[in-house]
């Protein structure tokens, strides 16, 4: 599959970099969305939902 160690290390680096970019994009998206309020018009307080 890999010709030598350099090819393997390069593929590991690219995979890790792609994962880091995906996590950063997910964090940016989460920060850009408005936070859900724990209060609603129907109840005084609502526990945050688990994800």
**Model pTM?**
0.56
Model confidence at 41: pLDDT above 90: no
What is the pLDDT at residue 44? Answer: 58
Angle at 31 between CA 50 and CA 15, to 5 degrees: 85
- What is the phi/psi pair of residue 5, to 5°? -65, -30
Model confidence at 51: pLDDT above 70: no
Model confidence at 1: pLDDT above 70: no
Residue 3's pLDDT band (boundaries 50, 70, 90)?
confident
Using a pLDDT cut of 90, give the percent of the chain over it.
Answer: 43
Model confidence at 27: pLDDT above 70: yes
């Amino acid at each position: 599959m890999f010709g030598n160690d350099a090819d393997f290390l390069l593929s590991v680096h690219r995979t890790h970099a792609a994962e880091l970019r995906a996590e950063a994009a997910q964090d940016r998206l989460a920060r850009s969305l408005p936070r859900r309020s724990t209060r609603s018009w129907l109840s005084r307080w609502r526990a945050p939902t688990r994800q």
